[in-house]
Chains A and B, each alone.
Chain A
């Protein structure tokens, strides 16, 4: 069974910042938190990964509190093309996907 919980769906508008939170109460010491984006009929695409505190790349930021029991993916200024399903995974010895969050960006 997947060890993560996310909201099933979220709506946003173009230009807004979107924050998707993932709960992982039973995260293990050696687990990293990884986020993927998936468009219909395509394979998931790696977005960002972190272990603690904050990680930022050209696409997104990932915020992880000190207890690591949750994490938040932040997408700045979303566009219509960011409409997709977003998954968080704990990947050290566990590559199982949870249900994911279906993000819909509206004009």
Chain B
């Protein structure tokens, strides 16, 4: 199974709402990632979890709060978002982030978020 699943596929939320994005993988990967992608731009790294610990936070605003409850799950909690946060949010996983091999990432299909 080389699949990363993300729910929901689409999400529309108001600026005062609180919502969560979910990501799951069952490949035994120990690194998980959140990316944000705007139209016609490359994915931007937001957070990296390695062995369930946050290892990279790319200076993401605190209205985005990641959580890694276990090695298979990754959540992104959203609150007080702005319209400019509307984007495709991608989750990915890899075996590790460091080591002697390249650790290619497997991406989910993304959640299309619209903030109104």
Q: Decide: B109 and A32 in contact? CB cutoff 8 A.
A: no
Q: How many residues of A are counted as interface, with CB atoms below 8 angstroms from the partner's CB atoms?
A: 25
Which of chain A's residues 18-73 have a Cβ closer than 8 Å to chain B?
A: 30, 32-34, 36, 41-46, 49, 51
Complex Cα gap A45–B110 (Å)? 12
Q: Which residues of A contact B92 (CB under 8 A)?
A: 43-44, 95
Q: Which residues of B contact A93 (CB under 8 A)?
A: 97-98
Complex Cα gap A2–B106 (Å)? 19
Which of B35, B102, B106, B107 is A51 in contact with, Cβ under 8 Å?
B102
Q: How far is the CB of B42 from chain A (nearest CB, A)?
A: 4
Q: Decide: A34 and B102 in contact? CB cutoff 8 A.
A: yes
Q: Decide: B110 and A97 in contact? CB cutoff 8 A.
A: no
Is B21 an interface position by the 8 A CB rule?
no
Q: Decide: A91 and B108 in contact? CB cutoff 8 A.
A: no
Q: Decide: A41 and B88 in contact? CB cutoff 8 A.
A: yes
Complex Cα gap A33–B43 (Å)? 17
Is A96 an interface position by the 8 A CB rule?
yes
A95-B105 contact given A41-B110, A42-B110, A87-B42, CB 8 Å threshold: yes
Residues of A within 8 A of B (CB): 2, 30, 32-34, 36, 41-46, 49, 51, 85, 87, 91-93, 95-100
* 10 pairs of A and B residues whose beta carbons are closest in the complex: A43-B107, A32-B102, A97-B42, A46-B104, A49-B102, A97-B43, A43-B90, A44-B107, A96-B45, A100-B42
Residues of B within 8 A of A (CB): 4, 33, 35, 42-45, 48, 88, 90, 92, 94, 97-110, 112
18 A–B contacts, CB within 8 A, in A order: A30-B98, A41-B88, A44-B92, A49-B102, A51-B102, A85-B42, A87-B42, A91-B102, A91-B103, A92-B99, A95-B33, A95-B45, A95-B48, A95-B105, A96-B44, A96-B45, A97-B44, A99-B42
